[in-house]
Amino acid sequence: MSENINPNPSILPSPSATPASRPLTGPLAPPPPLEGWRIDLLKTFPWLKWLVKRRWFQFAVVLPNLFLFLVFLAAGVWGTPVGNRNILIVFVWIFWWFLLISAMVPFLSRAWCTMCPFPFFGEWIQRGSLTTPKMAAPGAKGAKVGINRYFGWNLRWPKALSNIWMQNIGFLGLCTFSAFYLTRPIVTVWVLGSLIIIATVLHVVFRQRAFCNYVCPVSGFLSLYSMSSMAEVRSRDAEVCLKCHDKSCLVGSERGWGCPWFNFPSKMERNNYCGMCMECIKSCPHDNMTVRLRPFATDTKLKGYDEAWKAFIMLSLALAYSVIYLGPWGFFKDLANFTESGRGLSAFLGYALCLWALPMVVIPTVFSAFHWVARRLAGAEPKPWKESFLLMAYQLVPLGLLAWIAFSLPLIFINGSYILVTMSDPFGWGWDLFHTAHTAWSPILPQWMPAIQVGILAIGLILTLKSVFKQAGKIYTDNRARLRFALPMALLMTLIVSLFIRLYVS
């Protein structure tokens, strides 16, 4: 049942009411019309509303996850060092990754962040409470953020770092050493353990979820690809928000903490920085925040070069990993895993240099060249370079997500049997808890895999081409110019997809 939402409630009298009036452009201007259908999930499923409004909701989803996470870390320390026999490697890098990229992000946005255990300890210290929000009061201990009270230093995050460049670099850095932690449980323990420690320290030092917004290496791609997700947290009625003087979604209340992710939820127009913690749904006194279902790839606005580069990085890594881990060229895998393969450090450094140059220089340069040609071809007075660059870089978001899904499918279809094995014998100690420890390696549909991957990429290409032409209309109003601008960009997207197809089919 889809609900028609009026995107432009008659909030305000027409600005033309007086001759002196000029159209409003600021906060009181009506919100832009919503694109596509929406289903208000909290109206459609009252039990879901009941659930997410419980104060214990997030705690209840994090706790089992934290428990599993600690068990996995223990397996990494005390279990077998053989990667595909250790639950840590199999569940984190195969099962979790597949679920995250192929199901959670496309359908549930950043729902992973709702249950993520990394910030658990830090947020607990910061809030001094597991579930109940605390209010600031004169003379009370702790620091005030909005009207809630927090512990810790509550420092402001440095302005120069208020972007996702750190996440870009961090993610690329982690990916450079992927062959080490994908095969060695103890290295994965070091990586995940360090993340939890860094998250805890940063929660103590800085305000709210600074770690999640600016540091967490997982956050960068969750943020980017959640734009394409079919779920969103949004306010229902702009008029109610305008009239609301509590602004509890921002500043907090006794019902819920102010948005821990620094959003002003009432005005949220894209998913990027919404960690789906559901605090705004609890704190809003007018029941005006909800979770909605929407068409795929609805958020289309990248706001800065940091976000555009994230799109380049993710696309490049999907390409590079397809070569290293799925391709028939063992040479590349040997370079990435130089300590085991016996190739020297200099070979690894060469590999690392290529891995960094691809997303940081090569792909952006090729992209910029196509973009430059497109602007020249269009001829008409264009929008500023940055604006059209970001509009076109956005095209790599749904395309990149589908490329990652195509890359991740074989992980689960080919290696899925390891999940059954390690479930029964998580530490590789010879247990057989669920009588699946001796499941033979049996890839599922290996002969169909390239066809499925090509199908996914084809869907990505169709969506992207449609979007390229549509977004070009935001740059050029003249149809001829719009077409001439869109063609080179469409060609680039087609070339990218062809490259992936060639890799998977070969």
Partner 1 sequence: MTRRIEELEPKEILALAISIEQANQKALRNFSEMFDGYNQEVSRNFGEMAEEEGRHEELLQQMYKKKYKGPAPNIDSFDIEGVVEAVDLDDSEFLIFDSFKAQQVYQASWEAERRAREFYLKAVKNVKDAEMANLFNTLADMEGDHADWLEKKLGHKGKKP
User: How would DSSP label each residue in 23-42?
Assistant: ---STTSPPPPPPS-BEEHH
Q: Is 29 in the site for partner 1 (CB under 8 A)?
A: yes
| Alpha carbon distance 154, 142 (integer Å) | 9
Residue 155: phi and psi, rounded to 5, are: -70, 155
Partners of 263 in the beta sheet?
none
Rounded Cα distance between 226 and 506, Å, is: 31
Choosing from 1, 4, 26, 345, the residue that interacts with partner 1 (CB under 8 A) is: 26
Name the residue nearer to partner 1 (CB basis): 212 or 472: 212
In the bound state with partner 1, the residue whose beta carbon lies nearer, of 147 and 179, is 147
Out of 101, 175, 274, 358, name the contact with ligand SF4 by CB under 6 A.
Answer: 274
| Smallest gap from residue 425 Cβ to partner 1 (A) | 44
The residue among 243 and 386 lying less far from ligand SF4, judged by its C-beta, is 243
179 binds ligand SF4 (CB under 6 A): no
Structure token pair of residue 312? 């380049």
Q: Binding ligand SF4 by CB under 6 A: which of 73, 94, 210, 218?
A: 218
Out of 104, 116, 145, 202, point to the residue binding partner 1 (CB under 8 A): 145
Give the residues across from 155 on adjacent strands. 206
Q: Which is nearer to partner 1, 112 or 262 (CB)?
A: 262
Degrees to nearest 5, angle at CA 450 with 419 and 469: 115
Residues 304-333 that bind partner 1 (CB under 8 A): 304
Out of partner 1, ligand SF4, none, what residue 207 binds, judged by CB under 5 to 8 A for its kind, is partner 1
CB of 170 to ligand SF4, least distance (A): 11
Among partner 1, ligand SF4, none, the one that 73 touches (CB under a kind-dependent 5 to 8 A) is: none
| Residue 340 in the binding site for partner 1 (CB under 8 A) | no
Q: Given the complex with ligand SF4, which of 246 and 478 has the nearer CB atom?
A: 246
Q: Does 277 bind ligand SF4 (CB under 6 A)?
A: yes
Selection from partner 1, ligand SF4, none that 338 binds (CB < 5 to 8 A by kind) is none
Question: How far is it, in rounded angstroms, from Cα 201 to Cα 84?
Answer: 32
Strands, E assignment, 147-267: 148-150, 231-235
247 interacts with ligand SF4 by CB under 6 A: yes
- Per CB under 6 A, contacts with ligand SF4 among 220-239 are 222, 233, 235
Sorted by sequence, the CB contacts under 8 Å of residue 409 that are 6+ apart come out as 98, 102, 449, 452, 453, 456
Q: Does 181 bind ligand SF4 (CB under 6 A)?
A: no
CB of 489 to partner 1, least distance (A): 26
8 binds partner 1 (CB under 8 A): no
Any residues with CB less than 8 A from the CB of 60 and at least 6 apart, and which?
A: 54
Q: Is 269 in the site for partner 1 (CB under 8 A)?
A: yes
Binding segment (CB under 8 A) for partner 1, from list 17-25, 198-206, 331-339, 409-417: 17-25
Non-local CB neighbours of 99 within 8 Å, separated by 6+ positions: none
Is 231 a binding residue for partner 1 by CB under 8 A? The answer is no
Give me 400's structure tokens.
Answer: 């990149």
137 lies in the site for partner 1, by CB under 8 A: no
Which backbone phi and psi does 142 adopt, to 5 degrees? 95, 175
**Which one of ligand SF4, partner 1, none interacts with residue 303, CB within 5 to 8 A by kind?**
partner 1
| Least gap, CB of 146 to partner 1 (angstroms) | 5
Q: Which is nearer to ligand SF4, 113 or 336 (CB)?
A: 113
> Counting contacts by CB under 8 A, is residue 261 touching partner 1?
yes
Host H or E run for residue 290? strand 289-293
Is the CB of 8 or the CB of 339 nearer to partner 1?
8
Identify residue 151 by its one-letter amino acid code.
F
**400-403: Cβ within 8 A, 24+ apart:** 400/224, 400/225, 400/311, 400/314, 400/315, 400/318, 401/101, 401/105, 401/106, 401/225, 401/228, 401/460, 402/456, 402/457, 402/459, 402/460, 402/463, 403/315, 403/318, 403/319, 403/457, 403/460, 403/500
For partner 1 (CB under 8 A), the number of binding residues is: 52
Q: Does 302 bind partner 1 (CB under 8 A)?
A: no
Instruction: Read off the tokens for 304.
Output: 């800065």
The end-to-end CA distance of the chain, in Å, is 43
Nearest alpha-carbon partner for 394 in 315, 458, 319: 315
- What tokens appear for 193 in the block? 């353990």
- Shorter beta-carbon distance to ligand SF4: residue 35 or 246: 246
Phi, psi (rounded to 5 degrees) for 3: -105, 135
Q: Which residue's CB is nearer to ligand SF4, number 281 or number 352? A: 281
Six token digits for residue 463:
């969506």
Q: Which does 284 bind (CB under 5 to 8 A by kind): ligand SF4, partner 1, none?
A: ligand SF4
The residues binding partner 1 (CB under 8 A) are: 10-15, 17-18, 21, 24, 26-29, 143-147, 154, 156-157, 159, 162-163, 207, 213, 239-247, 250-251, 258, 261-269, 272-273, 303-304
Binding site for ligand SF4 (CB under 6 A): 112-113, 116, 118-119, 199, 212, 216, 218-219, 222, 233, 235, 240-241, 244, 246-249, 259, 261, 263, 265-266, 268, 274-280, 284, 286, 288-289
